[in-house]
Structure 1
Amino acid sequence: MRNRKFICGRFEIDLASKPVVMGIVNVTIDSFSDGGLYIDVDNAIVHAKKLIAEGVDILDIGAESTRPGANKVSSEIEIARLLPVIESLKNLDIPISIDTYKPSVMKKVLDAGVDLINDVYAFRIPGAIEIVNNYNCGLCVVHMQGEPSYMQHDPKYNNLIEDINNFLNNIIKNLTKSGISKNRILQDPGFGFGKTLDDNYKIIKNLNYLNQEFPILAGLSRKSMISNIVGKETINRLSGSISAALACVLNGASIIRVHDVSATISALKIWEKIGKIG
């Protein structure tokens, strides 16, 4: 049985009552969908406040793109991009997640008051576990085969779902052995992180085969797995992303990470109403 109370820094999030929506704020120049739109601090803050007004449950802020082939960013640049945004948002009564894999960045943003670390390297960088163990932040463990520079170069698995499950379970075991409580941990199967197109859709179909003890975060909004099926036009990416998000929720995801908060929440309301009809 999955943990239904998720400890996330200053917040305790109920994962039983409804799906939780995490909104994306990319303070980057090269993210695959909205790179450059919010690199300006003021624009990023305005966008974050817009997502809050639309009803987002968690803000996920990233300052380095992890799309396939993206350029790496130094810790100093990442921190300089993140801290002003965090400072402006941390008192707005909304959990703040930071998308980073660098221990030095983790420490800076946790000291600044963030609530969740979302790490595509799954806290495997030396020092990461030691840093997060000193705080009460939530942790999102992401599966990735390889690393962003080459992860999409012909990914292969012996057994896709079993391999992902084993990877996530081993990382979570290391976290809990270090003293991190289970109710601080989320798992993310890593859509697009070393996966073929068919792999991504097989994961959606088999989400409920992941370890049921830990909540699942699904992040597939606007990714190529969507555009490769429905086309690259914005409206198609939106409708395709919402369809995939609803399928993830149906198959066990507790949190969905999205660009289009308002439209996703509207779709979830309809889905929830249908579920309540006798």
Structure 2
Amino acid sequence: MLHPTSSRLPLPSSLTALERTLVLGVVNVTPDSFSDGGEWFEPDAAIAHGYELLADGADLLDVGGESTRPGAVRVDETEELRRVLPVIEALAATGATVSVDTTRARVAERALEAGARVVNDVSGGLADPAMAQVVADSGAVFVAMHWRGHADVMDANARYDDVVLDVRDELAARVDALVGAGVDVRQLVLDPGLGFAKPGVDNWPLLANLDVLQSLGLPVLVGASRKRFLGHLLARPGVDPVPPTERDAATAALTTLCAAQGAWAVRVHDVRPSADAVRVVARWQDVRASRAAFSAPTGGALPGALPGAQQEGRPS
């Protein structure tokens, strides 16, 4: 089912005022995430890291208290709440737009009460049947990712006839189910779920064909940052795959490509390179659009100041 886009998408104004791809900075409050587990585990460290990501250009922050790396063991709800709530409350109190990365409805509900504005659910609402009601009642933005099972079983479910069409169709079914449960379609953002129940080779067709997912008429978020398929791509003799923190340049390259394809947002660990990349793409697209308008048969003078010349507080 196709869902027409709407200019009335009820995202927070901080997520609609900028005509470019947004950058979602990752704040992992976990001891076991694949790329930075334990580094920001204490609340004070996680809050300080959130401030650093904002200073580096993040448009919003994604706070998660449970690792979803392949093979990860789940934490209980009480522990997940203990990890994320103080961080969300502190960051939201400063005016930051905060997302909670969770598959649990109760965690989402408490996080929204603490000031989060976005729920980023890697299960797309499948892991907890109560999630749709929480989202519908709150009016929060809901990122629904393509998912085929929790971290301990997802690799066993990585079988596709055509990964692009299969992911599109499964996401469309999720949208229909969520809307049928009372969620406003204008609340929804889709995520192809790179690395989740997808072997390395299956991630590249999804990245190269974002337009197929965008054909569903909803914003698309891409989370490629430091994923293992990049580690294998960059492998060198004796180092296969390269460590997660050595995948940031490749992540920024993908941010550039996704922004050029019109992705709504990218989710990244190292914010500065991707924040710069989306601004470069926005300026490049502005110039192309202005030149195309100037070259059109109707004519018209090329404006003295190109659209988007004011780069959000940075010199042109």
TM bucket (normalised to shorter chain) is over 0.9
Give the one of 67, 70, 94 matched to 2:69.
Answer: 67
1:6 positional shift: 4.0
Q: SS in structure 1 opposite 2:225?
A: coil
Structure 2 unaligned segments of length 5 or more: list them: 236-241, 292-316
**Larger Cα-atom Rg:** 2
* Residues 88-107 of structure 1 deviation map (CA, whole Å, 9 limit, x = unaligned): 11122221100000112112
Equivalent in the alignment of 2:79: 77
Equivalent residue number for residue 140 of structure 1: 143
1:203 correspondence with 2:183? no
Residues 93 and 115, structure 2, Cα contact 8 Å, conserved in 1? no
Match of 2:184 among 161, 181, 186: 181
2:171 is equivalent to residue 152 of structure 1: no
**1:262 paired residue among 245, 257, 272:** 272
**Distance in 2 of aligned mates of 1:15 and 1:157:** 38
CA deviation map 1:211-248 (0-9, x unaligned) = 34100000010110111111425674111111112222
Aligned length: 277
| SS of structure 2 residue aligned to 1:42 | helix
CA contact (8 A) 1:15 1:254 kept: no
Q: 3-state SS of the aligned residue for 1:21? A: strand
Identity %: 31
Q: What residue number does 2:238 align with?
A: none
Report the equivalent of 1:103.
105
8 Å CA contact retained: 1:23, 1:59: yes
3-state SS of the aligned residue for 1:271? helix
Q: Which amino acid aligns with 1:29?
A: P
Give SS of 2:62's match.
Answer: strand
Contact 2:118 2:143 in 1 (8 A): yes
Q: Does 1:248 align with 2:258?
A: yes
TM-score, structure 1 length as denominator?
Answer: 0.93
Post-superposition offset of 1:205: 0.7
1:162 is aligned to 2:169: no
Find the residue that maps to 1:180 and give its secondary structure. Answer: coil
Structure with more strand by fraction: 1
**Counterpart-to-counterpart distance in 2, 1:269 and 1:132:** 31
Give 5+ residue unaligned stretches, structure 1.
Answer: none
Alpha-carbon RMSD across the aligned residues, in angstroms, is 1.8
Q: After superposition, give the CA deviation of every residue in 1:133-168 in whole Å (9 maximum; x if it has no partner).
A: 210210000002232112123611122111111111
Name the counterpart of 2:282: 272
Higher relative contact order (CA 8 A, sep 6+): 1
Moved more, 232-241 or 208-217: 232-241
